[in-house]
Structure 1
Amino acid sequence: MSLQLEWSNEQSEYEISEELIGQLNKLLVAAGAVEGVSDGEVALTFVDDEEIHRLNREFRNIDRPTDVLSFAMRESLGEEPEITYEVETEDEAIPEFDEMLGDIIISVPRAIAQSEDYGHSVERELGFLFVHGFLHLLGYDHQTPEDEAVMMGKQEAVLQQIGLTR
Structure 2
Amino acid sequence: MIDFNYENEFNLENEEAIANWLSAVIVSENKKEGEINYIFCDDEYLHKINVEYLDHDTLTDIISFDYTMGNEISGDIFVSVERVQDNANDFKVLFEDELKRVLVHGILHYCGYKDKGEEDEKIMRAKEDEKLALFHVER
**TM-score scaled by length of structure 2:** 0.88
What do you get for the CA RMSD once the two structures are aligned?
A: 1.9
- State the distance in 2 between where 1:100 and 1:161 align: 19
Distance 1:138 1:38, change over 3 A: same
How far residue 139 of structure 1 moved from its aligned partner, in angstroms, is: 2.6
- Is residue 108 from structure 1 mapped to residue 103 from structure 2 by the alignment? no
Deviation at 1:59, TM superposition (A): 1.2
Q: Measure, in 2, the Cα distance between the counterparts of 1:136 and 1:17.
A: 22
1:142 aligns with 2:115: yes
Question: Which amino acid counterpart does residue 16 of structure 1 have in structure 2?
Answer: N
| Distance in 2 separating the partners of 1:39 and 1:162 | 17
Question: What residue in structure 2 maps to residue 39 of structure 1?
Answer: 33
Moved over 4 A (4+): none
Counterparts of 1:65 and 1:41, CA distance in 2: 26
1:8 aligns with 2:2: no
Contact 1:46-1:106 within 8 A present in 2 as well: yes
Instruction: Look up the match of 2:124.
Output: 151
**Can you give the 5+ residue segments of structure 1 that lack an aligned partner in the other structure?**
83-98
Question: Given residue 86 of structure 2, which amino acid in structure 1 is its aligned partner?
Answer: A
Give, in whole Å, the separation in 2 of the partners of 1:24 and 1:155: 15
SS at structure 2 position matched to 1:39: strand
Return the offset for 1:18: 3.7
Whether the 8 Å CA contact 2:8–2:42 is kept in 1: the answer is yes
Contiguous gaps of at least 5 residues in structure 2: none
- Distance across 1 between alignment mates of 2:12 and 2:120: 33
How many residue pairs get aligned? The number is: 137
Superposition pairs for residues 27-106 of structure 1, below 5 Å? 27-74=21-68, 80=70, 101-106=74-79
Q: Distance in 1 between matches of 2:120 and 2:136?
A: 24
Amino acid at match of 2:47: H
| Secondary structure in structure 1 of the residue aligned to 2:86 | helix
Structure 1 vs Structure 2: percent identity of aligned residues?
A: 31
Cα separation, partners in 2 of 1:133 and 1:100, compared to 1, 3 Å: closer
Taking structure 1 as the reference length, the TM-score comes to 0.75
Which of 1 and 2 has greater Rg?
Answer: 1
